[in-house]
Every structure is written in C-alpha cells, then in structure tokens.
Amino acid sequence: FCLSDSFTARVLWKLLETVKFGDTVSYQQLAALAGNPRAARAVGGAMRSNPVPILIPCHRVVCSSGAVGNYSGGLATKEWLLAHEGHLAGKPTSPGGSHPAGTRRGVRGGRN
C-alpha cells in the first residue's frame, strides 16, 4: 500500500494475513490485532479506505454484537460473500476456524 506504516496499513495487513476464508473478526478484535484494542472505529475507517476489497477481504469484519456491519459494496453483497464463505449471521468467528470467537480458537486477549 502507499499507506506504508499507518494504522490503516497495519489493519489491512492483519486482516489479510490472519482472517482466512470462512472466518470473521470483529472491528474490536482486528483493532487489537493491529496493536490498538481501543481503535474499533478507526478499523471501520480502514475498511472504508481499502483499495481492493475483494483481495483484502473487509467483508469478513463484522460487529461483535453479531450484526454484519457496513460494506462499501452494499449490505446485500457483504451478506452474500459471508454466506458464500459459509458464515451466516452471528458472532464473529476466530481467525483460523469457524468457531465463535472466545470458544475453541478465539483471538488471544480479544473480547467479543
């Protein structure tokens, strides 16, 4: 990215390397992975500035409440992408598995 050392670049990189096909992560969990657990709103801003939303899968970032959240391609597109990957509405899963965060493979130190 041309955002080299910014928080946005760290967020997008963590999303790309950590949250795999079929997984989701909450804005708060992703903020913690990027080094600032109190920056959940800034993660939303990073998602909005994602230059390649399909390659850097911002559709996998959801609300910790279980709400799908926003998506630049529209809510219907985000819901379709999540369903296509096998994740339907509900709590975020942990990166690396399709189990609800905080159960089997939750993000270390993250809260739902």
DSSP states of 31-68 as a string? HHHTT-TT-HHHHHHHHHT-S-TTTTTGGGEE-TTS--
Q: Are 53 and 72 in contact (CB under 8 A)?
A: yes
Which of these is catalytic: 12, 30, 58, 61? 58
Q: Is 58 a catalytic residue?
A: yes
List Cβ neighbours of 67 (8 Å cut-off, separation of 6 or more): none
Strand partners, 107: none
d(Cα 7, Cα 5) in Å, to the nearest integer? Answer: 7
The catalytic site residues sit at 58
